[in-house]
């Protein structure tokens, strides 16, 4: 019995150590961003060969200087605004194209639609690193170089397939009888959709909004390729490209910008994780 209990304690300790180790690996870069963002330069720029200077802690009092620089002397807020402006329009386009398509695939097209929906999902896998070259031609042809409109036009290429797929899965979980009974009561099909189905689909729609928005905020390749003016950049490009002047890195402000942008996204992901997983696991879990 005693040996068994000791084994249990050891197993528990091992389990805790494992969890701790993985968590430390996951959050270390964010801890590093956090401490860098508030360190004085004199505390920050001490060569790593000086073993007497522990870089993990504040050796001097923390400072808000880097945050002041970020918000007052850089275009960080402009980049955030640009990102949300693009994000808002991309969400609108995604909903306008994705909601009717998802409903159609979930209810109106039968087996034929099932195959088509897999085809649509597969287009999500065509990577930006393959399409940015033809898009650069297209953007030049339309005269949209260096304009946020180029991103508004192109970002739905990944949000529409992914969100249509997610929403289709959600709509399939709603019983068909709800719109059938509404139609028996005299609604047209479209009337039943807008009056009965969409209100019930709000959680699914919210997931789509969140993912279209987060995918927009995370996107890097297209934004890097098409936007060259600093004032028109999105946050994922402005911070790594424009906050670095020549070879001078303002690490304090840089890390503050990375942290401030990343943490809200992590909250959003946590809230919507289950739907997100359902989207990726396709039919592999029943």
Partner 1 sequence: MPSPDVALARPRATSVETLSRRDLRLGKLLLAPALAYIFLLVAIPFLLAVFLSLTNSSAGSLQFSFVGLQNFRAVVASPVFLRALRNTFIFTVVSQVLVIGLGNVLARALMKPFRGKLLVRFLILLPWAAPISLATLGWLWIFDSTFSVINWLLKVVGWLGPGQWYYWLGDPVLGMIAIITVHVWRMLPFSTVIILAGLTSIPKEVHEAADIDGAGPVAKTFQITIPMMLPILTVAVLFGAVFTFTDMSVVYLLTRGGPYNSTHVLASLAFQDGVLGGDVGRGAAVAIFLVPLLVVMAVVMLRISRRAEVV
- Smaller CB separation from partner 1, 75 or 235: 235
Nearer to partner 1, 209 or 258 (CB): 258
Tell me: does residue 68 bind partner 1 (CB under 8 A).
Answer: no
Point out which span in 63-71, 74-82, 105-113, 201-209 binds partner 1 (CB under 8 A): 105-113
Restricting to residues 246-275, which ones interact with partner 1 according to CB under 8 A?
Answer: 249, 251, 254-255, 257-258, 261-263, 265-270, 273
CB of 194 to partner 1, least distance (A): 12
Helix (H) or strand (E) holding 96: helix 76-103
Could you say which of 70, 89, 192, 239 contacts partner 1 (CB under 8 A)? 239
End-to-end Cα separation, the chain, in angstroms = 41
Size of the site for partner 1 (CB under 8 A): 105
The one among 10, 64, 140, 178 contacting partner 1 by CB under 8 A: 140
CA 210/CA 276 separation, integer angstroms:
10
Among 19, 42, 64, 178, binds partner 1 (CB under 8 A): 19
Residue 245's SS3 state is: strand
**Is 77 or 266 the residue whose CB approaches partner 1 more closely?**
266
Helix (H, G, I), strand (E, B) or coil at 248: strand
141 binds partner 1 (CB under 8 A): yes
Helix (H) or strand (E) holding 244: strand 244-245
Options 2, 25, 202, 247; binder of partner 1; rule CB under 8 A: 25
CA–CA distance, 83 with 232 (Å, rounded to integer) = 9
73 versus 228: smaller Cβ distance to partner 1:
228
Let me know the angle formed at the C-alpha of 29 by 241 and 11, rounded to the nearest 5 degrees.
Answer: 155
List Cβ neighbours of 153 (8 Å cut-off, separation of 6 or more): 139, 142, 144
Residue of the chain from 67, 69, 116, 230 that contacts partner 1 (CB under 8 A):
116
Among 241, 231, 72, 226, CA closest to 155? 226
CA–CA distance, 127 with 132 (Å, rounded to integer): 9
CB of 30 to partner 1, least distance (A): 6
- 30 or 65: CB nearest partner 1: 30
Considering only 58, 68, 73, 129, the residue that binds partner 1 (CB under 8 A) is 129
Name the residue among 89, 100, 90, 273 with its Cα closest to residue 201. 100
Query: What residues between 193 and 212 interact with partner 1 by CB under 8 A?
Result: none
């Amino acid at each position: 019995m005693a040996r068994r209990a000791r084994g249990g304690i050891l197993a528990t300790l091992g389990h805790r150590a494992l969890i701790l180790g993985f968590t430390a690996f996951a959050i270390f870069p964010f801890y590093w961003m956090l401490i860098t963002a508030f360190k004085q330069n004199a505390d920050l720029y001490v060569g790593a060969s000086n073993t007497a200077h522990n870089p993990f802690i504040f050796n001097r009092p923390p400072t808000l200087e880097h945050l002041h620089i970020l918000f007052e002397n850089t275009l960080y807020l402009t980049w955030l605004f640009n990102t949300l402006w693009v994000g808002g329009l991309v969400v609108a386009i995604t909903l306008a194209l994705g909601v009717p398509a998802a409903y159609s695939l979930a209810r109106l097209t039968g087996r034929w639609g099932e195959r088509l929906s897999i085809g649509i999902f597969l287009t999500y896998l065509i990577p930006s690193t393959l399409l940015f070259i033809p898009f650069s031609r297209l953007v030049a042809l339309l005269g949209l170089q260096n304009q946020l409109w180029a991103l508004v036009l192109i970002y739905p290429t990944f949000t529409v397939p992914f969100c249509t797929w997610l929403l289709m899965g959600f709509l399939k979980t709603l019983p068909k009888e709800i719109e059938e009974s509404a139609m028996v009561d005299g609604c047209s099909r479209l009337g039943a959709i807008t009056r009965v189905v969409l209100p019930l689909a709000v959680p699914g729609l919210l997931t789509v909004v969140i993912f279209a928005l987060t995918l927009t905020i995370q996107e890097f390749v297209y934004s890097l390729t098409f936007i060259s003016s600093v004032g028109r950049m999105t946050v994922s490009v402005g911070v790594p490209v424009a906050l670095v002047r020549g070879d001078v890195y303002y690490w304090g402000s840089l890390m503050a910008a990375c942290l401030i942008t990343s943490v809200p996204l992590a909250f959003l992901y946590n809230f919507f994780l289950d739907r997100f997983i359902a989207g990726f696991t396709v039919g592999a879990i029943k």
